[in-house]
């Protein structure tokens, strides 16, 4: 599929075998991690140019703009690539729930227990 994404940016992206990069949505002012979605070149282009998060739905095999059906919009504040150019961080102003289950984030329903370690913390 062709895309309008800047060819220089497209050349930098490291994609999964299915042509996608993970996109982490984070609340811009609190740092709260909201959700993880997937983007191809066109979804990233649309996100950068419209100011609304656009993702590729792996299950439906189509683009979806966060909020178009739910009313829970993600207004883009900034977009960054990680150091390996294999993950996108989208800082957003989330309106309503980010998760399709209706919760604020996709990461608040199943918090796993972590055992404390007796090892000394590693110093940097």
Q: Give pLDDT tens digits for 43-95.
A: 999 999 999 999 999 999 999 999 898 899 999 999 999 999 999 999 999 99
pLDDT of residue 108: 86
User: How, if at all, do strands 21-27 and 88-94 pair?
Assistant: parallel
Backbone angles phi, psi at 8, to 5 degrees: -65, -40
Q: How do beta strands 74-81 and 62-65 pair?
A: unpaired
Whether the pLDDT of residue 16 is over 90: the answer is yes
**By the 8 A CB rule, do 51 and 92 touch?**
no
Show the domains of the chain with their CATH numbers: 22-94 (3.10.20.810)
Question: Residue 20's pLDDT is what?
Answer: 97
Mean pLDDT over all residues of the chain? 91
């Amino acid at each position: 599929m062709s895309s309008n994404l800047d060819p220089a940016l497209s050349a930098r992206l490291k994609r999964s075998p299915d042509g996608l990069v993970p996109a982490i949505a984070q609340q811009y002012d609190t740092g709260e991690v909201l959700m993880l979605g997937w983007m191809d070149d066109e979804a990233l282009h649309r996100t950068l140019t419209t100011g609304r998060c656009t993702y590729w739905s792996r299950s439906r095999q189509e683009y979806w703009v966060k909020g178009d059906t739910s009313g829970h919009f993600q207004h883009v504040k900034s977009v960054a690539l990680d150091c390996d150019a294999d993950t996108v961080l989208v800082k957003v102003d989330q309106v309503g729930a980010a998760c399709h289950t209706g919760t604020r984030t996709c990461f608040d329903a199943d918090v796993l227990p972590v055992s404390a370690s007796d090892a000394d913390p590693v110093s940097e």
